[in-house]
Amino acid sequence: MTETRDWLTEGLPNIWLPYTQMATAAPPLAVVASQGVRLRLADGRELIDGISSWWTACHGYNHPHIRAAVERQLATLPHVMFAGLVHEPALRLAQRLAALLPGDLERVFFTESGSVAVEVALKMAIQYWRNKGQAEKQRIVYFRHGYHGDTFATMALCDPEEGMHALFAGSMPDHIMAELPSDETTRRAFDLLLETHAGRLAAVIVEPLVQGAGGMKMHDAQTLAFIAEACRRHQVLLIADEIMTGFGRTGRLFACEEADVIPDIVCLSKALTGGTLPLAATVARRHVFEAFLADDPSAALMHGPTYMANALACAAANASLDLFEREPRLAQVAAIEAQLREELAPCRELAGVAGVRVKGAIGAVELAGGIGLDALRRRFAGLGVWVRPFGNVVYLMPPFVIGAADLATLTAAVRSVLAERAATL
């Protein structure tokens, strides 16, 4: 315990935590180990992880197959630059992703984070039109409640009112926000928007089926299919941000599959390596890639992260894909969905609850009134679960390997904490 106290107390004065007002926030919890669906704290407690470490740990923690793959790769080739050089883990991973994704999504550009994967998608979309002689097509359409990252280019595609980036208003590129076309009125408006601005639009970007950090807002496959068809008719590229939804979270390996949609560009990250190492991918269809092929060097895609296609991360991702092939992940997601629907439903009767939504291995309870996020987070930890509400949403996105008993503990904690809150309203 002395050793833990030393690194914690000595190190905290030098760390800057994300999304945290450090003048007032409670001290962070010190994690010393993880296994399966549990986090072990320095004080000896164990927490059932209800959010998969920001939606990444789809196979749980410390899976032996991923660990062994990373250990083997570490012993031979941890990393090498990916300019003029390639390596087997990256090429094999690119081939496997192309085979899994729908249609001719076949050219994979690797980066290290979801935000950068979206940045690359924007570059691809804008330069695609420039290379085709239509340099005026530079604007992007995004949707209310959307979230696509924290870099300046991606912040410009997040809901300016409900997102976390209002502080930077006026310092970002000017793009066009639309309502999701989920009914006749919004569909007419969306179609008119594309028709009116098609001459200057490079792409539409959407989080298919579930808008994650914008509040776990959910829409149906028909909405996604309408967006794709409208983009096709008006000659606007479609970018699917599957960073959160990809790799089984909504019940299909990729959310776009539910609507039989083949986006022009797909962004992947989070669960790509099973929650072990940073890696992301931007995958383009054949016609997008071919627009960059020319004798002119300026037609090439000018982007190249230092740790692009990191061999250790690619080894982890290949091992993660092995697990999707060998183990019943999508069946586990279906079981999680059924249990979340049943066990979160009573929350609808509580005061201060505005709604309950479930899709795949995602369960969200939307709250009304004052939230008190820090107090809610501390209360969840006191019940032995790691649940981190944000905005006005308490949500669960557990690892796919979670058992029914542990999931019941998570849902019981949500009902209990929200019942306590309801009693104070």
Provide the annotated active-site residues.
19, 147, 241, 270
Cα 258 to Cα 347: distance, rounded to the nearest angstrom: 28
Helix ranges restricted to H, 132-171: 152-155
For residue 55, which of 207, 241, 248, 218 has the smallest C-alpha distance? Answer: 248
Contact 278, 387 (CB under 8 A): no
Contact 347, 418 (CB under 8 A): yes
Tokens of 240: 């699917």
- The burial class, CB within 10 Å (0-12 / 13-18 / 19+), for 343 is buried
Cα 162 to Cα 158: distance, rounded to the nearest angstrom: 8
- DSSP conformational letter for 209: S
b/e per residue 181-218 (b: at least 16 CB within 10 A) = beeeeebeebbebbeeeeeebbbbbbbbbbbbbbbbbb
CA distances from 122 to 73, 199, 270 (A): 32, 17, 19
Distance of CA 91 to the CA centre of its chain: 23
Q: Which residues, at least 6 apart from 229, have a Cβ–Cβ distance to it below 8 Å? A: none
Cα 34 to Cα 41: distance, rounded to the nearest angstrom: 9
Residue given tokens 């300046």 in the structure block: 152
Cα 20 to Cα 273: distance, rounded to the nearest angstrom: 26
Q: What is the CA radius of gyration of the chain?
A: 22
256: Cα within 13 Å, side-chain hemisphere: 25
φ, ψ at 45 (rounded to 5°)? -70, 155
CA distances from 92 to 89, 108, 368 (A): 5, 11, 48
